[in-house]
Amino acid sequence: MLDKKLYSITIVNFLILFFILLLSKIVNHPPNFTPLLSLIIISTLIVRNKIILVLNVLLSMIASDFIIGFYGGISISYLVLIFIIFTADKIFRNINLIKIVYLGLYASILFYLATTPLHYIFDSSNVFSFESLIYYYRNGFYFFLNTLSSTIIFNVLFYYILKNHYPKTLNNLEKKTNNV
């Protein structure tokens, strides 16, 4: 049986994750080059209580959006993040470097495919057509590449931090996911 303390999220851990997620959105960075998806992916593997994790992610996203501004279709972005929380550890059960990279690819593609139409729908100057939608996907591809590269880089970084500084935690996570 795994140590329950390992997976319990205390108030301090909740606040630390909250502020890291908040800062990942409001600190100046290249467009879409943030550790946001990686933090969510790694958190889904570590935090057992997904409701607490969803609450944390939503509160940090809403707080950061109060600072940087809200936009049309923001609820869809939130829903995509929630979907990632509930599916990431179910889709890729074994934790290793390759799976962490695949999780980054999965989350980035999902986020790109689901949120790009928001720009298409909420652009008031847009003429609705298939060509126009393709235009938005093509123009959003640069942002997708930034999201993909940052998510994979941060996933690998967080994986190696766990592996080298918290090997017991990583071993317990590997056992947990192999037994599910």
- Whole-angstrom Cα distance, residue 42 to residue 154? 10
* pLDDT tens for each residue of 10-38: 677 777 877 888 777 777 766 666 788 99
Return the axis-axis angle of helices 97-122 and 74-91, rounded to nearest 10°: 160
Residue 170 has pLDDT above 70, yes or no: no
- H-run or E-run covering 113: helix 97-122
Tell me the pLDDT tens digit for each residue of 38-75: 989 888 877 878 899 999 999 998 998 888 888 777 88
Residue 133 predicted with pLDDT over 70: yes
Calculate the average pLDDT of the chain.
81
Question: What distance in Å separates the CA atoms of residue 164 and residue 128, rounded to the nearest whole number?
Answer: 51
Mean pLDDT computed over 109-133:
83
Distance in angstroms (rounded) separating the CA atoms of residues 137 and 156: 27
Domains and their CATH numbers in the chain: 4-179 (1.10.1760)
